């Protein structure tokens, strides 16, 4: 009736469940021995899910006797079980009072505590539902905990005088305050030690990261430079790439230099790195203003900038160039400048499509403008302006 212990025993022994319940009632009249036995079997034996239940409200952990018949038989058996359970509780209380000369002021709180513990155990039984999920489950757990607390409080307060209890509480509080005051220096010293240890771990981790990065990047590049010291162009290319990677690492994730190719600043960085690695051209870049995603307009400007840098690497006769990119929210501007040999834009052959198609047409087809200023012997500057729609 409570957790299926008698039903499980009856099924295991092959007898009727009423016989087992009668034995439990008789044992309960022996100073509550039957109640203790029932609780011990409930606590220390594993429960299995029921195949069926003897009544509509029987616990899920109850087993069903093989002789369970119709609904009327189940109802009569359940009523008989409730009567036996009540008889067992009453008999255990009376026998306990007679054998120990203890009054109801102790027995009743103990029964209340037992009922509360039973409610909580029924919810958290290993074969039961486990953690509360429904309102009924929470009500069961809350009621059980309340009964346990109230029963224990009645037992304790009934044995203690209030005046002595107040003096005891004051003594306990004073002792705790004294212990707290004495332990403050020790606690502060322990806290400082923990903070110092934490800071030391952080510093050690940072040193380890720095050492790993320097070994994987700078030291490896220096070893390559030593092996290829007879090739100045290759040495310069390796040094430029390592400088760019080291700058990105030092500036950190919040810098524009490591913002990724998904934004204008990141795309400029990736594009310039590609040009430097492929063509051996050193590019000094400056990116100012706002940053944003790369759309069609931004992609056209970046493609024109890359083509201009490629022209510098092929035709200007220099190994350096400057790139300036500015986004003021309305117009994306880009300038590519070199101090090379220069050229006359009007004298460019018609079959040379680098400036006409890859730069002018790419930008102007998106609504932008291209301005070319070049002086023989003094270099070239290409200015690009692209209006940003919807900004």
- Which residue ranges make up each domain of the chain? 5-164, 252-387
Element (H, E) at 48: none
Radius of gyration of the chain (CA): 44
Here the tokens at position 25 are 């009632």
pTM above threshold 0.85: no
Instruction: Return the CATH number of 252-387, one of 3.30.390.10, 3.30.450.20, 3.40.50.300, 3.30.565.10.
Output: 3.30.565.10
**Over 60: is that where the pLDDT of 205 sits?**
yes
What was the pLDDT predicted at 384? 94
Q: Which residue would you say has higher pLDDT here, 319 or 167?
A: 319
**Residue 132: pLDDT band by 50, 70, 90 thresholds?**
low
Mean pLDDT value across residues 349-361 = 71
Give residues with Cβ within 8 angstroms of 380, minimum separation 6.
Answer: 312, 316, 337, 338, 340, 342, 343, 372, 373, 374
**What's the whole-number average pLDDT of the chain?**
76
- The backbone torsions φ and ψ at residue 311, rounded to the nearest 5 degrees and listed phi first, read -60, -40
**Residue 277: pLDDT band by 50, 70, 90 thresholds?**
confident
Mean pLDDT value across residues 243-260 = 57
What was the pLDDT predicted at 162? 59
Please classify residue 306 by burial: count the beta carbons closer than 10 Å to its beta carbon, then call 0-12 exposed, 13-18 middle and 19+ buried.
buried
**Residue 380: pLDDT band by 50, 70, 90 thresholds?**
very high
**Over 80: is that where the pLDDT of 237 sits?**
no
What was the pLDDT predicted at 351? 59
Rounded CA gap, 242 and 280, in Å? Answer: 13
What was the pLDDT predicted at 339? 93
Element (H, E) at 139: helix 135-158
Instruction: Report the range out of 89-103, 165-179, 298-312, 339-353 with the highest average pLDDT.
Output: 298-312
Q: Which residue would you say has higher pLDDT here, 47 or 258?
A: 47
- The backbone torsions φ and ψ at residue 121, rounded to the nearest 5 degrees and listed phi first, read -60, -40
What was the pLDDT predicted at 217? 73
Mean pLDDT value across residues 185-198 = 86
Point out the least confidently predicted range of 11-20, 251-260, 300-309: 251-260
Element (H, E) at 100: helix 71-100
What was the pLDDT predicted at 2? 74
Closest C-alpha among 89, 120, 94 to residue 3: 120
Residue 93 and residue 106 in contact, taking contact as beta carbons nearer than 8 Å = no
**Over 70: is that where the pLDDT of 125 sits?**
no
What was the pLDDT predicted at 48? 56
Point out the least confidently predicted range of 40-49, 181-190, 320-329: 40-49
Hey, which residues does 387 pair with through a beta bridge? Answer: 331
Rounded CA gap, 17 and 91, in Å? Answer: 20
Hey, which residues does 321 pair with through a beta bridge? Answer: 283
DSSP state of 297: H
CA–CA distance from 203 to each of 111, 190, 210, 273, 311 (Å)? 61, 20, 10, 32, 47
Mean pLDDT value across residues 37-51 = 67
**Residue 165: pLDDT band by 50, 70, 90 thresholds?**
low
């Amino acid at each position: 009736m409570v957790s299926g212990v008698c039903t499980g025993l009856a099924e295991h022994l092959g007898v009727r469940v009423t016989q087992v319940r009668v034995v439990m009632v008789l044992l309960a009249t022996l100073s509550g021995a039957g109640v203790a036995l029932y609780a011990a079997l409930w606590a220390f034996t594993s429960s299995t899910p029921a195949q069926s239940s003897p009544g509509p409200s029987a616990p899920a952990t109850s087993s069903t006797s093989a002789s369970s018949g119709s609904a009327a038989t189940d109802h009569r058996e359940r009523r008989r079980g409730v009567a036996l359970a009540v008889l067992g509780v009453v008999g255990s209380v009376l026998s306990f009072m007679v054998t120990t000369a203890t009054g109801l002021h102790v027995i009743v709180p103990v029964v209340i505590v037992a009922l509360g513990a039973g409610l909580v155990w029924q919810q958290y039984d290993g074969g039961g539902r486990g953690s509360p999920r429904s309102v009924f489950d929470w009500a069961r757990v809350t009621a059980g905990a309340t009964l346990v607390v109230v029963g224990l409080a009645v037992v304790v307060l009934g044995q203690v005088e209030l005046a002595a209890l107040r003096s005891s509480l004051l003594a306990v509080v004073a002792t705790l305050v004294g212990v707290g005051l004495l332990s403050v220096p020790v606690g502060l010293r322990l806290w400082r030690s923990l903070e110092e240890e934490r800071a030391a771990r952080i510093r050690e981790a940072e040193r380890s990261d720095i050492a790993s990065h320097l070994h994987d990047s700078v030291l490896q590049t220096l070893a390559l430079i030593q092996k290829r010291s007879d090739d100045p162009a290759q040495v310069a290319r390796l040094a430029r790439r390592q400088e760019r990677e080291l700058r990105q690492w030092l500036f950190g994730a919040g810098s524009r230099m490591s913002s990724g190719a998904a934004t204008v600043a990141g795309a400029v960085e990736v594009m310039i790195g590609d040009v430097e690695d492929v063509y051996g051209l050193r590019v000094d870049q400056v990116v100012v203003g706002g940053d944003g995603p790369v759309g069609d307009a931004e992609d056209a400007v970046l493609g024109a900038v890359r083509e201009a840098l490629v022209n510098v690497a092929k035709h200007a006769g220099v190994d350096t160039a400057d790139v300036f990119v500015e986004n003021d929210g309305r117009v994306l501007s880009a300038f590519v400048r070199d101090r090379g040999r220069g050229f006359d834009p009007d004298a460019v052959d018609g079959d040379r499509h680098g400036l006409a198609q890859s730069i002018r047409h790419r930008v102007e087809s998106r609504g932008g403008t291209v301005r070319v200023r070049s002086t023989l012997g003094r270099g070239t500057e290409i200015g690009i302006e692209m209006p940003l729609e919807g900004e």
